[in-house]
Amino acid sequence: MTDPKPKPTSKRVSRSSTAKRATKPPAKPAATTKPAKAPKSSPAAKPSAKPASARKPMARAIKQAPPAAQEARTRRIWISGATGFVGKAVVRVLRTRGDEVIAAVRDPKKAGDLVDMGVIVLEDDLSNVAITAEGLRDVDAAIHSAGSYRVGITRAERGAMWDANIGTTTRVLDATETARTPRIVYVSTVGVFGNTHGQEVDETYRRNVREGFLSWYDETKFGAHEVAAQRARAGAPIVTVQPSQVYGPGDHTEVGEQLRLAHAGKLPYRALDEVGIGFVHVDDLARGIVAALDSAPLPSTYILSGPRHRLGDALAIAARLGGHPLPRLAVPSGLLRLIAPAGRLIGQANLREVVTASAGVTYWASAEKATRELGFSPRALEDGLRDTFEFEADSAYTPG
């Protein structure tokens, strides 16, 4: 695997901009409290300064735990990728139960929802091990969920994805070692198994790498997964979780957009609908990640996959929920392979990679171990899509 050695983007934060660290957990319910201020300590990345009162309330809350339960399990948790789809859902679970959360974010201007939840926001693009290690000082655990997920990228974009997945994971784990972080959850993917050829595999499955990789995303996430696995075998306190395809309110993936269009009766045609996917609702996944944080043995690995469906079947469920038929027009995968070289003409820079990663491929994995040991319980796809579309409809008519 080639390391393009991307140019560092972080800059060291001066002592004058050192983040103020909270020394006590919040005493009020998590959704409304702000961390207590403490005297300045050693340098860290600077936090977002915009007050929570100037922002909108968080989008959706998870049932508040009893105060006694919150106090009993309050911890300081560092997280990367907290402004992302999955990371924000994990933060929501942690803050609702009263944990103190420290989020390393590239751009604090995008962290308004986190500030509303009382999160300590540190400006850190994860390009400098020393700065990240400073942010990890004295935390009880770390969750690394940052990464880049795109299929169909150009060759020119490969270096950035390599760094986002392999480079960043390596640096974050280096920082946790420097900071002596006692517990780490690394968010991987079932995609590292590659094409499961119609089988539902478990955590012991190993792909045949001689078959090659399905996409650059596949290759870089496999590399990052191997970095974490090697560290765990060497004694690092790492729990690796492997989600399947994540959906829910705020899902901006290509699959999420197709589901939304099918529900609205606006899907123009069907393509690559034979790809096999496990669908996990983002809130179920977040609870599974936190369960792994709380009780998984060290080191260990857990698949957090939802129910298995072909994409075409999932689209049919979404369309039925919206009261619409699926479009009759279906583009054969063979035709897509033929026109792949001209993909740019239809707005797809690397159609060949999209087809390779989808046509006849299954990404099926069993969450039986997580269900048995962590209490992981993903909802049925129809229930999850109904919840998603109802939430998005309610949000569309909510003032402000």
Q: Has residue 265 been placed in a domain?
A: yes
For 279, the domain range is: 43-327+348-396
Q: Which stretches of the chain are DSSP H helices?
A: 67-73, 85-96, 112-116, 129-135, 158-162, 168-179, 216-233, 254-264, 282-295, 311-322, 333-339, 351-356, 368-374, 381-396
The domain total for the chain is 1
Q: Does some domain include residue 36?
A: no
Confidence of residue 36 (pLDDT cuts 50, 70, 90): very low
Residue 261 covered by a domain: yes
Of the given ranges (22-26, 166-170, 376-380), which has the lowest mean pLDDT? 22-26
Average pLDDT rounded to a whole number, residues 287-315: 98
Residue 6 pLDDT > 60: no
Residue 380, in any domain of the structure: yes
33 — pLDDT class (breaks 50, 70, 90): very low
| High-pLDDT (> 90) share of the chain, % | 77
Host H or E run for residue 77: strand 76-80
Q: Which tens digit of pLDDT belongs to each residue from 86-131?
A: 999 999 999 999 999 999 999 999 999 999 999 999 999 999 999 9
User: What b-and-e string marks burial along 232-251, b requiring 16 or more CB atoms within 10 Å of the CB?
Assistant: beeebbbbbbbbbbbbbbbb
The verdict on whether omega for the bond into residue 299 sits within 30 degrees of 0, i.e. cis, is yes
Q: Is 317 exposed, middle or buried (0-12, 13-18, 19+ CB in 10 A)?
A: buried
pLDDT tens digits, 316-330: 999 999 999 999 999
Q: How far is CA 152 from the centre of its chain?
A: 19
**What pLDDT was estimated at residue 395?**
84
pLDDT at 344: 79
* Cα separation, 184 vs 145, whole angstroms: 11
Whether residue 5 lies inside any domain: the answer is no
| Burial of 117 per CB tally in 10 Å (0-12, 13-18, 19+) | buried
Mean pLDDT of 326-339: 94
Q: How many CB atoms are located within 10 Å of the residue 326 CB?
A: 18
Average pLDDT, the chain: 85
Q: Rounded to an integer, what distance in angstroms lies between the CA atom of residue 350 and that of residue 155?
A: 9
95/19: higher pLDDT: 95
Higher per-residue pLDDT: 43 or 260: 260
Q: Using the structure block, give the residue that is written with the tokens 């996990």.
A: 280
User: What are the structure tokens assigned to 320, written together?
Assistant: 């039925």
Q: Dump pLDDT digits (tens) for 347-385.
A: 788 999 999 999 999 999 999 999 999 999 999 999 999
Distance CA 109, CA 25 (A): 24
Per-residue confidence (pLDDT) for residue 369, from 0 to 100: 98
- pLDDT(43) > 80: no
CATH number of the domain that 267 lies in?
Answer: 3.40.50.720
- Please state, in angstroms and rounded to a whole number, the distance separating the CA atoms of residues 128 and 175: 9
pLDDT (tens digit per residue) in 259-300 = 999 999 999 999 999 999 999 999 999 999 999 999 999 999
Answer for the pair 83, 169: CB distance below 8 angstroms, yes or no. Answer: no
Q: 60-78: per-residue pLDDT in tens?
A: 433 333 343 334 558 999 9
What pLDDT was estimated at residue 29?
A: 39
pLDDT at 348: 82
Q: Is the pLDDT of residue 400 over 60?
A: no
- Mean local confidence (pLDDT), 163-169: 98
Query: Does residue 249 lie within any of the structural domains?
Result: yes
CA distance 346 to 271: 14
Helices 311-322 + 381-396 axis angle, to 10: 50
Per-residue pLDDT at 34 exceeds 70: no
Rounded-to-integer distance, Cα 132 and Cα 142, Å: 11
In this structure, what token pair is assigned to residue 215? Answer: 């996409």
Q: Which amino acid is at 42?
A: S
Up-side HSE of residue 325: CA atoms within 13 Å toward CB? 3
Residue 24 confidence (pLDDT) above 70: no
Give me the mean pLDDT over the 187-214 stretch.
Answer: 97
User: Residue type for 181, please?
Assistant: T
| Predicted local distance difference test score (pLDDT) of residue 74 | 83
pLDDT, position 39 = 38
DSSP string, 139-182: -SEEEE------SS--GGGHHHHHIIIIIHHHHHHHHHHHHT-S
Q: Does residue 148 form part of some domain?
A: yes
Determine contact, residues 40/18, Cβ cutoff 8 Å.
yes
Between CA 398 and CA 332, with CA 250 as vertex, the angle to 5 degrees is 125
pTM for this model (two decimals) = 0.82
CA distances from 232 to 157, 236, 297, 323 (A): 30, 5, 12, 48
Residue 186 to residue 205: CA distance in whole angstroms: 18
